């Protein structure tokens, strides 16, 4: 398996606070990799650095071999790497189908493509994806009127519509009704296996991430603490201490 | 350009232009200070800023017409404009404080048009001035002339600014204002009536602009349509200086005054306003470009 | 095309075609009505659909006016040829400027963009006031239309009617495809749109260019209808045209296709009435009106209607019932 994403010695500080210190990890293609750690350990900061939301202080981030640290958010997204947001961001005043239609890949966007109407296949695909996440019945509702959990599913569907190679998910099960978490995890797995999308997942729900991920990295106070397969991490004393001693 | 050449041939000219610019720049800084205050405390960009300046100017003009020295216009404008600012807050502005910024821009823009046209109807569109009649100061063997009234206006502007700063720092209301600016919700929990703070802030801003306007009437001219120019000047200064930075506001204000003074000379007086407005556009574009390079936006 | 839409178009088209014949003494005002529709539609493209509230669209209007007037003055062609060329050059020049300024000015968000465009509008007016080639402060006079006054008004009526119709249908086509969704996405969450790889700058610039094109075109014609061009009060008049653009779109309901049209009609008719009765105080009333609409009625007429009767707009409040649905959290 080739390495899709390589993070090498990345550090980021905000004012006096070091949010990320010398982070090095890699994500192999086709894998599901987990990123865990107590609140404030710097996970979302790392995500933001990867996708170009803010500059990094030092280090390098390479996606399919290309250096990302100087690129801007839309360029990185067009390379095939997307992220979902912790607070779930969707287009509130458009309906679900429209949200998906505008999430098609934007690699080719000449003037002609911009001004053209939507081909019917894209609408079909959008509806199929909505069916996949279970929102088909709500497809004509305004996205802003959906419940938080439904919006999360919509955001996931939008990401799938974009056909990314790598998807960064920021706490995908947070705020979801516990009885529906299994359904979401199952869909994540299917997206990985059937659609070949590599996943890097920040997760607080231990049961979810231990079941889903093949390899897990644990962060604490801005640094990488431990990494390994789920069984190993689960029993790692440092990880346990980090969570128990976090507050 | 011939004018540009003249600046090199007669260096004393630079001193004249610089001095003129700095003196009026203090007044710009005052209006900018008020705008930064309202922006920082209530998150409102007050497009009607310049109209308060204009109305303050008319107060001074009317006093002068009545035979009273326009310098008394400064305290009178402060009082009258404070009342106006309070009234406008209580009727209109309080409704847009917590809504998105564009609504507040539109609302204050509406107020600006309202006041501007009202002034036009009541006072007429003619250009007016309030003679200070204070004689001239001669420097450098008479090569540089400065009207005493300009020096006085600059001093008053700076004094007003200092008074405001002291008020904000040491008075109870001032501290309440600063607390609200930092964290409105926390201030409310601690018992501060944020609505009163907002009203006082907005009224205070109007009062400061009124003072600035009275000074403008003495050293320059007043007419119903000069409001927008002052609003945009204040905006440029606040953008360059940043919100919390009083010293920056003063320096930028003086700098803008000087820049305008030179521009008026080099490009011709007709283009002086064009220079200021174009400068606004250029500064904004450059600022956002520079920020974009490091993946940030003008927030 | 839905039946309601089609009949609406036919009715408006018929009314539009015969109106000046039914009310010949109001032809000039009716011509202005179409101008207002164009103002509102082009503003709404940026402000309502894309979320970029511009106070400076009037720049493109003024450029169109001056470009056409200069061509008419200097080209030596006969009236209609000069006018045609002037229309074309006005539109293209305005579009070129918007493309040039685009990436710089559109790189700003929200209120910075609004105030920057405000600055742009007044700067243009001031620069034009000092430029002798185009008449400086005194402005320019456009050539007299060959023909009776009635014929002139009629000609410009149909010209603006045509431009308004074209603008409307172009926007209608764009809003129904990828372009419409893209600019809506930019409005709803620009950060998200960027994070999804959307070429936001490209879409923003194209939108601005489209608005500039139609405004430049309209400006060229408007300068001729009014008869003279003044840099501060006619061409780059933020206090009149510039403000009306914003007001009409919001009044009618921004972000919709028919909202700006409705707003333009309501505003123009009301304004004509105000003019007769209020005289000098009409601009004071305008200021008050802006405040009232913005504070109390920001959703506009169509927005209000949409809230009351959402089903009529194709939005389902209740989902289509499909039992055994999972995923509803």
| Helix residue spans in B139-226 (DSSP H) | 148-170, 172-182, 184-189, 194-219
**B7 pLDDT above the threshold of 80:** no
Residue C170 burial by CB count (10 A; 0-12/13-18/19+): exposed, middle or buried?
middle
pLDDT higher than threshold 50 for residue C97: yes
Q: What percent of chain B has pLDDT over 70?
A: 96
SS (H, E, C) C244-256: HHHHHHHHHCCCC
| Strand partners of residue A35 | A202, A217
At A81-135, the pLDDT tens digits run 999 988 889 999 999 999 999 999 988 778 888 888 888 889 999 999 999 998 9
Q: What value does the mean pLDDT of chain B take?
A: 87
> Is C199 touching A (CB cutoff 8 A)?
yes
* CA dist A188 → A31, A103, A159 (Å): 12, 18, 11
Q: Where are the domains of chain A?
A: 3-80+164-244
Residue B180 lies in a domain: yes
Residue C1's pLDDT is what? 53
Q: Identify the band that residue C312 occupies on the pLDDT scale cut at 50, 70 and 90.
A: low
**Mean pLDDT value across residues C278-305:** 86
- H helix or E strand, kind and range, residue B136: strand B136-139
User: Which option is the CATH number for C29-309: 1.20.58, 1.10.3470, 3.40.50, 3.30.70?
Assistant: 1.10.3470
Q: What span, in angstroms and rounded, lies between the C-alpha atoms of C218 and C65?
A: 8
Assess whether pLDDT exceeds 90 at residue B253.
yes
Minimum CA–CA partner of B294 in chain A: A55
Distance CA A69, CA B150 (A): 53
Total domain count, chain B: 1
Give me the sign of the Cα torsion angle C258, C261, B48, B59. Answer: negative
B284 to C112: CB separation less than 8 angstroms, yes or no: yes
Query: B225 to chain C, minimum CA–CA distance in Å?
Result: 10
Please tell me which chains touch C, using 3 or more CB pairs under 8 Å as the contact test. A, B
| Three-state secondary structure of chain A | CCEEEEEEEEEEEECCEEEEEEEEEEEECCCEEEEECCCCCCHHHHHHHHHCCCCCCEEEEEECCEECCCCCHHHHHHCCEEECCCCCCCCCCCEHHHHHHCCCCCCCCCHHHHHCCCCHHHHHHHHHHHHHHCCHHHCCCEHHHCCHHHHHHHHHHHHHHCCCCEEEEECCCCCCCHHHHHHHHHHHHHHHHHCCCEEEEECCCHHHHHHHCCEEEEEECCEEEEEECHHHHHCCHHHHHHHHCCC
Interchain CB distance below 8 Å, B270 and C137: yes
What pLDDT was estimated at residue C168? 95
Q: Say what the pLDDT of residue A40 is.
A: 85
Mean of the pLDDT values across residues B180-205?
A: 87
pLDDT of residue C239: 77
Strand partners, C86: none
Closest-approach residue (CA) in chain C for B234: C115
Q: Would you state the pLDDT for residue C324? A: 36
In the prediction, which pLDDT does C315 show? 53
Average pLDDT, chain C: 87
Q: What are the chain B neighbours of A53 within 8 Å (beta carbons)? A: 295
Q: Over 90: is that where the pLDDT of B136 sits?
A: no
Coil, strand, or helix at residue B139? strand
Instruction: Tell me the CATH number at B166.
Output: 1.10.3470
More confident residue, A136 or C327: A136
Condensed to tens digits (0 to 9), the pLDDT of residues A148-206 reads 889 999 999 999 999 999 999 999 988 888 888 888 899 999 999 999 999 999 998 88
CA gap A151, C314 in Å, rounded: 20
The verdict on C291 touching B (C-beta cutoff 8 Å) is: yes
Could you report the per-residue pLDDT of C35-52, keeping only the tens digit for each? 999 999 999 999 999 999
**B294 shares contact with chain A (CB less than 8 Å):** yes
Cα of B81 to nearest chain C Cα, Å: 19
Query: Domain for residue B298, yes or no?
Result: no
Q: Is the pLDDT of residue A34 over 90?
A: yes
Nearest residue on chain C to B39, judged by CA atoms? C111
B299 pLDDT above the threshold of 60: no
Domain that holds residue B173: 2-293
Q: What mean pLDDT do residues B135-152 have?
A: 78
Give A52's contacts in chain B (Cβ within 8 Å). Answer: 295
3-state secondary structure A128-185: HHHHHHCCHHHCCCEHHHCCHHHHHHHHHHHHHHCCCCEEEEECCCCCCCHHHHHHHH
Using a CB-CB cut-off of 8 Å, the residues of chain A touching C48 are none
Helix (H) and strand (E) counts for chain B? Answer: 12, 2
- Touching A (3+ Cβ pairs <8 A), the chains are B, C
C229 compared with C109, residue with greater pLDDT? C229
Express each pLDDT in C171-216 by its tens digit.
999 998 999 999 999 999 999 999 999 999 899 999 999 999 999 9
pLDDT at C325: 37
CATH number of A3-80+164-244: 3.40.50.300
Per-residue pLDDT band for B194 (boundaries 50, 70, 90) equals confident
CA angle C185, C190, C193 (to 5 degrees): 60
Is the CB of residue A186 less than 8 Å away from at least one CB of chain C?
A: no
* pLDDT at residue C284 in the model: 86
Shortest alpha-carbon distance between residue C46 and chain B (Å) = 14
Confidence of residue B206 (pLDDT cuts 50, 70, 90): very high
Q: Residue B1 has what pLDDT? A: 60
Position B299 in a domain: no
pLDDT digits (tens, 9 = 90+) for B212-246: 999 999 888 899 988 999 999 999 999 888 887 78
For residue B266, list chain C residues with Cβ-Cβ distance below 8 A: none
Distance of alpha carbon B288 from the chain centroid: 24
Taking each helix axis as running N to C, give the angle between helix B172-182 and helix B148-170, from 0 to 180 degrees, rounded to the nearest 10: 80
H/E run at residue B292:
helix B272-293
Question: Between residues B206 and B172, which one has the greater pLDDT?
Answer: B206
pLDDT at residue C328 greater than cutoff 80: no
The C-alpha angle with vertex C48 and arms to C113 and C188, in degrees rounded to 5, equals: 80
Q: Do B294 and A55 touch (CB under 8 A)?
A: yes
C244 at B interface, C-beta within 8 A: no
Q: How far is CA B179 from CA B40, B200, B203, B238, in A?
A: 11, 14, 18, 20
Average pLDDT over residues B250-278: 89
Cross-strand partners of A202: A35, A170
A183 touches chain C (CB under 8 A): yes
Are C326 and A91 an interchain contact pair (Cβ–Cβ within 8 Å)? no
User: A115–C177: do the CB atoms touch at under 8 Å?
Assistant: yes
Which of C126, C136, C280 to probe the B interface (max B CBs under 10 A)? C126
- Provide, rounded to the nearest whole percent, the portion of chain C with pLDDT above 90: 48
pLDDT at C318 over 60: no
Q: Is the pLDDT of residue C321 over 70?
A: no
Higher pLDDT, C111 or B119: B119
Nearest Cα residue in chain A from C255: A93
Q: H or E segment at B40? A: helix B11-42
């Amino acid at each position: 398996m080739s390495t899709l994403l390589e993070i090498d010695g990345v550090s980021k500080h905000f004012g006096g606070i070091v949010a990320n210190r010398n982070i090095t990890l890699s994500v192999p293609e086709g894998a599901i990799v987990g990123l865990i750690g107590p609140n404030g350990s710097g996970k979302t900061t790392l995500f933001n650095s990867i996708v170009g939301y803010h500059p990094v202080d030092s280090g390098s981030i390479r996606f399919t071999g290309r250096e990302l640290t100087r690129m801007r958010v839309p360029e990185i997204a067009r390379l095939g790497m997307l992220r979902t947001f912790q607070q779930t961001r969707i287009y509130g005043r458009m309906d679900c189908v429209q949200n998906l239609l505008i999430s098609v890949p934007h690699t080719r966007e000449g003037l002609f493509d911009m001004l053209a109407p939507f081909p019917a296949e894209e609408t079909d695909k959008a509806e199929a994806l909505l069916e996949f996440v279970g929102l088909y019945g709500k497809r004509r509702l305004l996205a802003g009127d959906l419940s938080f959990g439904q919006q999360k599913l919509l955001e996931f569907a939008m990401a799938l519509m974009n056909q990314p190679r790598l998807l960064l998910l920021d706490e995908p099960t947070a705020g979801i009704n516990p009885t529906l978490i299994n359904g979401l995890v199952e869909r994540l797995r299917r997206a990985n296996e059937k659609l070949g999308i590599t996943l890097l997942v920040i997760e607080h729900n231990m049961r979810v991430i231990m079941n889903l991920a093949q390899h897990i990295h644990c962060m604490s106070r801005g640094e990488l603490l431990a990494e390994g397969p789920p069984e190993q991490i689960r029993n790692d004393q440092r990880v346990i201490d980090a969570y128990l001693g976090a507050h | 350009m011939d004018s540009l050449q003249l600046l090199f041939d007669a260096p004393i000219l630079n001193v004249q232009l610089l001095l003129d610019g700095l003196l009026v720049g203090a007044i710009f800084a005052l209006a900018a200070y008020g705008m930064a205050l309202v922006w920082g405390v209530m998150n409102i960009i007050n497009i009607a800023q310049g109209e308060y300046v204009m109305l303050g100017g008319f107060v001074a003009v009317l006093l002068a017409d009545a035979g009273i020295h326009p310098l008394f216009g400064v305290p009178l404008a402060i009082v009258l404009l404070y009342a106006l600012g309070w009234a406008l807050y209580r009727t209109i502005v309080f409704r847009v404080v917590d809504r998105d910024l564009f609504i507040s821009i539109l609302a204050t823009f509406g107020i600006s048009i309202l006041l501007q046209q009202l002034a036009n109807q009541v006072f007429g569109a003619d250009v007016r001035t309030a003679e200070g009649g204070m004689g001239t100061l001669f420097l450098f063997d008479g090569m540089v002339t400065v009207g005493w009234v300009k020096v006085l206006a600059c001093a008053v502007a700076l004094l007003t600014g200092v008074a405001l700063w002291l008020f904000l720092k040491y008075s109870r209301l001032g501290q309440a204002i600063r607390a609200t600016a930092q964290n409105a919700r926390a201030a409310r929990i601690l018992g501060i009536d944020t609505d009163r703070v907002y009203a006082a802030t907005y009224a205070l801003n109007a009062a400061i602009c009124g003072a600035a306007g009275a000074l403008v009437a003495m050293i320059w001219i007043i007419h119903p349509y000069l409001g927008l120019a002052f609003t945009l000047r204040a905006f440029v200064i606040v953008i360059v200086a940043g919100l919390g930075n009083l010293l920056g506001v003063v320096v930028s204000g003086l700098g803008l005054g000087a820049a305008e003074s030179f521009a008026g000379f080099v490009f011709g007086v007709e283009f002086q306003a064009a220079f200021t407005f174009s400068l606004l556009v250029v500064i904004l574009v450059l600022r956002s470009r520079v920020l974009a390079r490091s993946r940030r936006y003008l927030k | 095309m839905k039946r309601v839409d089609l009949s609406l178009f036919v009715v408006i088209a018929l009314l539009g075609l015969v109106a000046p014949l039914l009310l010949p003494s109001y032809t000039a005002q009716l011509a202005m009505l179409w101008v207002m529709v164009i103002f509102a539609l082009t503003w709404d493209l940026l402000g309502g659909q894309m979320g970029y509230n511009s106070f400076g669209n009037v720049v493109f209007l003024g450029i169109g006016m001056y470009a056409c007037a200069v061509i008419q003055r200097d080209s030596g062609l006969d009236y209609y040829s000069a006018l045609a060329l002037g229309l074309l050059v006005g539109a293209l020049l305005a579009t070129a400027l918007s493309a040039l300024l685009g990436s710089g000015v559109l790189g700003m968000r929200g209120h910075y963009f609004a105030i920057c465009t405000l600055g742009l509008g007044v700067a243009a007016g001031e620069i034009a006031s000092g430029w002798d080639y185009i008449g400086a402060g005194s402005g320019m006079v456009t050539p007299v239309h060959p023909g009776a006054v009635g014929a002139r008004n009629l000609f410009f009526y149909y010209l603006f009617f045509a431009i308004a119709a074209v603008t409307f249908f172009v926007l209608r086509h764009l809003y129904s495809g990828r372009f419409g969704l893209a600019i809506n996405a930019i409005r709803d969450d620009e950060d998200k749109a960027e994070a999804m790889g959307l070429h936001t700058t490209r879409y923003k610039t194209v939108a601005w260019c489209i608005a500039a094109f139609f405004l430049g075109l309209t400006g060229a014609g408007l300068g001729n209808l009014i008869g003279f061009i003044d840099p501060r009060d006619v061409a780059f008049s933020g206090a009149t045209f510039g403000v009306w653009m914003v007001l009409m779109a919001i009044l009618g309901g921004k972000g919709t296709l028919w909202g700006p049209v409705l707003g333009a009609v309501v505003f123009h008719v009301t304004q004509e009435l105000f003019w007769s009765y209020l005289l000098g105080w009409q601009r004071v009333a305008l200021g008050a009106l802006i405040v009232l609409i913005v504070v109390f009625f920001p959703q506009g007429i169509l927005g209000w209607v949409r809230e009351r009767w959402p089903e009529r707009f194709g939005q389902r409040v209740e989902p289509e019932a499909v039992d055994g649905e999972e995923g509803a959290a």
